[in-house]
Amino acid sequence: MGNRRAVVTGIGCVTPIGIGAEELWAGVKRGKSAVKRIDRFESGGLRSQIAAQVERFDPLQYMDKKRAHRMDRYSQLAVAAGSMALAHAGIKPEEADAERAGILMGSALGGIAYAEEQCGQFLVGGYRSVSPTLGFSVFGGAASCNMAMAFGFTGLNETNAMSCASGAVAIGRALAAIRRGEADFILAGGSEAPLAPLSFGAFDMLRAMSTRNEAPEQASRPFDKNRDGFVMGEGSAVLLIEEESHARARGARIIAELSGFGISNDAYHMSAPLPSGTQAARALRQALRDADLSEDEVGYINAHGSSTPLNDVTESKVIRAVFGDRPVAVSGTKGLYGHPLGASGAIEAAITCLSLQEGWLPPTSNLENPDPLSPVDLIARAGRDARTAAAVSNSYGFGGINASLAFRRV
């Protein structure tokens, strides 16, 4: 298909720090954590009792009541983010070529929280008390399929389930599909709604989450020496990835170029990263090679920065292995909105694109005492004005999945 390039022309999101691209960026600039005590369910008995919740989401602002009733929160978040991405890009679904419009999403848990809720209904009232929508709500693909029906898009459609890297994987797959000529534009990102007792409790049993319950807003602290685990969040983010000539022909505003993707697997452990970080480093190098970028051209890395003791040390090794002692700016933004699992890579890709567009790099939230093994140029406390030529976003997930996305400033 020739030299087809992919650009980002729209961003839609539902996050704890803001709904929509403008609110998300305002939340990043504000730097105030949305983490607080869980109020969705009784958390007594759990080690971790904090989360980053989306407080102001009304699905009826993005879909009619009938459609909303047929979806669980997981799918509602995805459809809402997709709607905002289309509007942000200036694309009206009814005017688009439906067969040339794709949807690629990612989610770690899909509709599991809704299944959990309906299981409770079943235990109390039997089969007749269970919603008839259960069967087609819980599978991961419900996100992209509901989006397709909402927008009338009949092209490429898929939702991957690659854990906390799934949103980034979806965006990377969109890049490949645009290059192959499979679509003119693709809605790509992630959605996650995991804040339910058993889903949350399963991670609590792994002792992977922060127990800083008395100071929730300070709990998620990527690369800090005193970090003690991640903070679970929820949300969705969708990027509209468009073939460049298609975007320019319609006079679209281009936010950034999506230029590279790398993916690998540690083949080591389900919940712990490979200590050496060699495979994650390989994914990062793949992304740079795919983007035809040298290490010197990259001015910013939005780190996965989960705030777990093992992950942050390993990611620091990865960055040093690829960039050496060159002071490439690094920050982790999960301290603001927690870790919404499969949606996090998409949210962070959106933040990376906005950072390139706005010429401002966000700081690492709650970073008070940097781990001695942290990256060389870790942005702390205050953001930084910088017109960088290119940036990278890293995402890692259970099962040893590593994904890196590379973006260029336009």
Is residue 227 assigned to a domain? yes
pLDDT at residue number 325: 84
pLDDT at residue number 139: 92
Q: Which is the catalytic residue, given 13, 88, 145, 164? A: 164
Q: Which residues fall within 8 angstroms of residue 311, CB to CB, at 6 or more apart?
A: 273, 304, 305, 396
Residues 284 and 337 in one domain: yes
* Class of residue 398 by CB neighbours under 10 A (exposed 0-12, middle 13-18, buried 19+): middle
Q: Report yes or no: 223 and 371 within 8 Å, Cβ to Cβ.
A: yes
Residues 241 and 184 in one domain: yes
Residues 192 and 297 in one domain: no
Where among 249, 271, 293 does a domain terminate? 249
Where among 249, 270, 296 does a domain terminate? 249
Half-sphere exposure of residue 159: CA atoms within 13 angstroms, side-chain side: 27
Q: What is the pTM of this model?
A: 0.97
Q: Report the distance separating Cα 241 and Cα 103, nearest Å.
A: 10
Q: Which is the catalytic residue, given 145, 246, 339, 353? A: 339
Q: Report yes or no: 400 and 268 within 8 Å, Cβ to Cβ.
A: yes
Task: Locate 265 and state its tokens.
Answer: 């697997």
Residues 135 and 225 in one domain: yes
Residues 217 and 288 in one domain: no
Residues 206 and 66 in one domain: yes
Residues 130 and 243 in one domain: yes
Please give the sequence-ordered ranges of beta strands (E in DSSP) within 61-156, or none if there are none. 101-106
Amino acid in position 405: L
pLDDT at residue number 28: 98
Residues 30 and 94 in one domain: yes
- Judged by DSSP in three states, 122 sits in helix
Q: Which residues fall within 8 angstroms of residue 214, CB to CB, at 6 or more apart?
A: none
**Active-site residue 164, yes or no?**
yes
Q: Which is the catalytic residue, given 13, 88, 304, 353? A: 304
Is residue 81 assigned to a domain? yes
Residues 12 and 51 in one domain: yes
DSSP string, 373-387: TS-TEE-BSS-EE--
Cβ neighbours of 71 (radius 10 Å): 24
- CATH number of the domain that 32 lies in? 3.40.47.10
pLDDT at residue number 173: 98
* Crossing angle for the helix pair 21-30 and 344-358, to the nearest 10 degrees: 80
**Active-site residue 304, yes or no?**
yes
Where among 249, 276, 291 does a domain terminate? 249
Residues 243 and 392 in one domain: no
Residues 392 and 332 in one domain: yes
Which residues, given as ranges, of the chain have pLDDT below 50?
1
Residues 237 and 326 in one domain: no
Which residues constitute the domain of residue 84?
7-249
Tally the domains of the chain: 2
